Amino acid sequence: MEEKIKCLILGSGPAGYTAAIYAARADLKPVVFQGLQPGGQLTITSEVENFPGFADGITGPEMMELLKKQAERFGTDVRWGIATEVDLSKRPFKVIIDGDKTFLAETLIIATGASARWLGIESEKRFNGFGVSACATCDGFFYRGLDVAVVGGGDTACEEASYLSKLCKKVYLVHRRDELRASKAMQNRILKTKNIEVLWSHIPKEIVGDKNVDGFIVHDIKGNKDVKIDVQGVFIAIGHKPNSDIFKGQLNLDENGYILTKPGTTQTNIEGVFAAGDVQDHVFRQAVTAAGTGCMAAIEAERFLSDQE
């Protein structure tokens, strides 16, 4: 059976739930499908100290629980489920959940987020939250005065290293090649910063420690030997992958898979389909900016529906 929905929201991070709060209050009767990681990327962060309004900070999972409650308070229908297929060729848009449930949506808000890429080594999982992180802006504060390593050679890694250099005693930038991928301006900034040391042509091997990280074993390709650097934190910054695979061929995406929206709006190339949060933002990637675009998407969905009437 096909279920009709006025405003279907995919994703349950700050973008999805903020869209839901606004859509519910505008009487769009939103349904949120939580997706693969209910609560989104913040559920794997420890403390969130930069979201306005939480003067004493709050943990990521607690914050997402509050956002969910707030969305539900206004009548949002929050459900388990992952969108597996969409047909955006005509309205109402067809969205298949979990491979077998069909929904017809008058408006669709895509807030499916992005996932940090990980190295795929066992110790990285074991120390996640205990010295391993994929977000310097979220977790850097806990490493004040300590030594840390950042893995990667792109703009994200350089930005993370630069941010951490202001808080930490020493930052090692571990890069697998002898040339950075980051923009020239970013490279210059890194190379000029005194407490950043680039370990060129070094491949990450193992993160070590007891309960918390106290070292990082990297392989020096040129010297053909393993080296242990004494660090208390390892930040993985080898890129993010927007969760946009199912929209390929229907929505305009940039070369990295981020959904393209009209500047200053959350409108995609298909009228009635809006994108908010990290799935359309590779620059800011903050909970508060995601929430901001979630709000925009709901307001735009509401205006779109009123224009149709």
Which residues would be at the binding site for ligand NDP (CB under 6 A)?
119, 151-157, 159, 176-177, 181, 204, 238-240, 256, 282-283
27, 77, 138, 307: which one is catalytic?
Answer: 138
Q: Please, what is the minimum distance in Å from the beta carbon of residue 19 to ligand NDP? A: 24
Residue type, 262: K
User: Has 56 been annotated as catalytic?
Assistant: no
DSSP 202-239: EEEEEEEESSSEEEEEEEETTTTEEEEE--SEEEE-S-
Nearest residue to ligand NDP on Cβ basis = 154
Q: Please, what is the minimum distance in Å from the beta carbon of residue 268 to ligand NDP? A: 19
Burial class (CB in 10 A: 0-12, 13-18, 19+), 283: exposed
Name the 3-class secondary structure at 286: coil
**Nearer Cβ to ligand NDP (23/148):** 148
**Nearer Cβ to ligand NDP (41/107):** 41
**Nearer Cβ to ligand NDP (30/242):** 242
Q: Please, what is the minimum distance in Å from the beta carbon of residue 227 to ligand NDP? A: 15
135, 158, 168, 295: which one is catalytic?
Answer: 135
**Nearer Cβ to ligand NDP (30/204):** 204
**Residue 128, φ and ψ in degrees, nearest 5:** -60, 120
User: Has 158 been annotated as catalytic?
Assistant: no
Residue type, 56: D
Name the 3-class secondary structure at 97: strand
Q: Please, what is the minimum distance in Å from the beta carbon of residue 246 to ligand NDP? A: 21
Instruction: Establish whether the linkage from the previous residue to 92 is cis, with ω within 30° of 0.
Output: yes
124's CB contacts (< 8 A; 6+ apart) are 118, 132, 207, 234, 236
**Nearer Cβ to ligand NDP (30/233):** 233
7, 56, 139, 155: which one is catalytic?
Answer: 139
Residue with tokens 């420690």: 209
Q: Please, what is the minimum distance in Å from the beta carbon of residue 255 to ligand NDP? A: 8
List the one residue out of 296, 302, 286 whose CA is nearest residue 13.
286
Give the C-alpha distances (Å, rounded to integers) separating 70 from 13, 37, 119, 157, 291.
Answer: 13, 19, 36, 35, 13
Bridge partners of residue 293, in order along the sequence: none
User: Has 77 been annotated as catalytic?
Assistant: no
**Nearer Cβ to ligand NDP (126/176):** 176
Q: Please, what is the minimum distance in Å from the beta carbon of residue 198 to ligand NDP? A: 12
> Alpha-carbon distance 171 to 166, whole Å?
10
Give catalytic residues, as residue numbers.
135, 138-139
